[in-house]
Every structure is written in C-alpha cells, then in structure tokens.
Copies of this chain bind each other. A is one copy, B any other.
C-alpha cells in the first residue's frame, strides 16, 4: 500500500478530517514533519484536503540553530507557495516563572501558537507528525514517571483541533519515504542528547526491548496505549457523571466524604481528580495528590487538614471542604509529577 493511502486510511478511520477540509501543517523542519508536509501535499493533489499553510514555532531554546530551522521552514513553504506562520516564545523564562519543566512548557507554548496560526490561516485542523514510535515512547515515558492518575493513555489520533495522520506509521517507514524522495530536512542536535529522558527511551530503552524481549515491542506498546486510552475514556466519563453526587457545592468545593468512600476505587480516584482540579485553579494535580487526598478522606479526623496544590482540604464532619491555604512556605511539586505529552 502506498504511504499516502495508509495515511488516508488513518484519516478516515479516526475521522480526522472531512474530505476537502483545511489543514495546517505543523513544521519543525525535522525529517518527520517535512515528510508530513509532502504527504499532505500529495493528498491535496488528490483532492482529499486543502493545505491551508505551514506553521513553525521557535522555542527560543537553541539560538542560531533554531533561527536556521525557522528559515528552512519558511523557504520550504515558499517553494510550495504555501502560506507560512512563524511564532517565537521564550520557553525557558516562562518555564521558570510558571515552575514547569522546559519540555512541558515548550509543548504548551507550541500548541498555543499553532492554535492561533490555525485561526489566522482559517485551518480546520492542525496536523502534527507523531508516529507509532512516538506513541510507544510516550507510553513508556509515562509509565516510568508514574505521571498522572491513570496516565498510561495514548497520544490520541485527534485531540481538539490537533490531528495525527501519521500515528499508524512506523518512524522508519516515514524516514525511508523521505530518503527515497531525497527530501531535505534539518537535524535537531538535541534529539541525540540522551541526557533527555525521551531520547534515552528512543535511542536506548526501546532498541534494548526490541533486541532482548520482543521485536514487535513498538506495536505492542502502541496497542496497549490505545487500550489504556479506551479504558481511561470510559472510566472518566463514568466518573464525571458521578461528580455531581459527590461534590456538594462549588464555592468552596465541598465533598461528601462518605459518598466518595462508597465508590469503586477506580471511580473514586477519578472523581477525586476532577474535584481536585476544580479546586486547584489550573495548578497541576498529580497521582500522588490524589492518593494522599483519598487517604485523607478515608482516615482524617474532624478539623484536620491536608495541603494540596493551591488549597487545603479540611475535614468538617462528614464533609471535606477546600479552603485557601494558610500563608506558609510552600513545598514545590516534585519533579516526578510533571506531565509527559507528545
């Protein structure tokens, strides 16, 4: 099967785009995103979609190299007479200010920019170049970090306006497509830096698992990521329906401790996550917060309090009420609690 046909099948299978829809191509300049651009061009040729343009985000993290990447993307877009949007952000500074990891902040800033660029270019969706290998890597990273409550889910083929038409392709298939066509692209030197956990997963852990345990490990992990995502979706939907019976009031967030205690643990964890998020005002709520909160709900005596992101939970009779935290030196969220995203 032609690579473009495989991609088209992915687009149809996950309903990523109606026929003739307008697509913005996220372009880093790396091999995967350059290949994505060419695949989208081929699909445009066949009348399957309209390529609304390309967009490149300069994270401001790699100086002259990053500027050259931007220039490369600009010229590549011009070569195909595509509209081009470039964005810039000082990710390092913002990460410090918001106390988030660089990777996490870079992802947020990038997707914010892409959303704006899509609006600018009247694109219906934003195509990004994640492959099945990215799926497996993200799954392993999340597994190792223990991030999120049930953080083992997959990179979704579609998340809001972001679509991933290459998610059923192996990276090697994509790269050999690029090689056969002699597509020029930029090398991001940091991709080889095994000081970065994702690169260690890519260049060391996955090849080791492939060699020593299972030649099909990427397929296996991608499949497990998809299963985990389905389970997560189902249980979260169920939990959200239950929130109303457990969260008694919203300001302040007040919880019926007994009702929460009666829930199946799989649902209690998700209802608690939802309640904590509502009370956390945008702060990160991790697995460990939820675990400590559920212990508190089970065991705390009247009047006792538990410190949580941006708030404290106070036991008041059969209820737990979220109150502003009293002023005192705050403990930072430990590094393991950071989120891992594509």
The interface-forming segment of A59-67, A174-182, A219-227, A248-256 is A219-227
Shortest CB-to-CB span from A296 to chain B, Å, is: 17
Complexed CA–CA distance, A291 and B222 (Å): 14
Chain A 221-259 against B: per-residue CB contact (8 Å), 1 yes, 0 no?
101100110111111000000000000000000000000
Shortest CB-to-CB span from A184 to chain B, Å, is: 34
Contacts of A146 in B (CB 8 A): 214, 216, 220-221, 223-224
Q: Is residue A9 contacting chain B, with contact meaning CB distance below 8 A? A: no
Q: Is the CB of B212 within 8 A of A145?
A: no
Could you say which of B149, B205, B231 contacts A266, with CB atoms under 8 Å apart?
B231
Q: Is the CB of B266 within 8 A of A144?
A: no
Classify the interface of chain A: helix, strand, loop or mixed: helix
Q: Is the CB of B267 within 8 A of A224?
A: no
Could you say which of B144, B145, B266, B287 contacts A234, with CB atoms under 8 Å apart?
B266
Whether A264 contacts B230 in the complex (CB less than 8 A), given A144-B209, A145-B214, A152-B224, comes out as yes
Q: Is residue A269 contacting chain B, with contact meaning CB distance below 8 A? A: yes
Could you say which of B200, B224, B233 contacts A143, with CB atoms under 8 Å apart?
B224
Contacts of A228 in B (CB 8 A): 152
In the complex, besides A144-B214, A220-B336, A227-B266, 10 extra interface pairs with C-beta distance below 8 angstroms are A144-B217, A146-B223, A146-B224, A149-B227, A150-B227, A205-B213, A214-B336, A230-B266, A231-B231, A233-B264
Complexed CA–CA distance, A220 and B143 (Å): 8
Q: Is residue A197 contacting chain B, with contact meaning CB distance below 8 A? A: yes
Chain A 246-282 against B: per-residue CB contact (8 Å), 1 yes, 0 no?
0000000000000000001111010000000000000
Complexed CA–CA distance, A305 and B227 (Å): 26
Shortest CB-to-CB span from A170 to chain B, Å, is: 16
Contacts of A213 in B (CB 8 A): 144, 197, 200, 205
Contacts of A149 in B (CB 8 A): 227
Shortest CB-to-CB span from A150 to chain B, Å, is: 6
Q: Is the CB of B197 within 8 A of A204?
A: no
Contacts of A291 in B (CB 8 A): 223
Complexed CA–CA distance, A264 and B204 (Å): 36
Most B CB within 10 A of own CB, among A152, A221, A267, A269: A152
CB<8 Å pairs between A and B, sample of 26: A143-B143, A143-B221, A144-B209, A144-B213, A144-B214, A144-B220, A145-B220, A146-B214, A146-B216, A146-B224, A152-B224, A152-B228, A197-B213, A200-B213, A204-B212, A205-B209, A208-B208, A227-B269, A230-B269, A233-B264, A233-B266, A234-B235, A234-B265, A234-B266, A234-B267, A235-B266
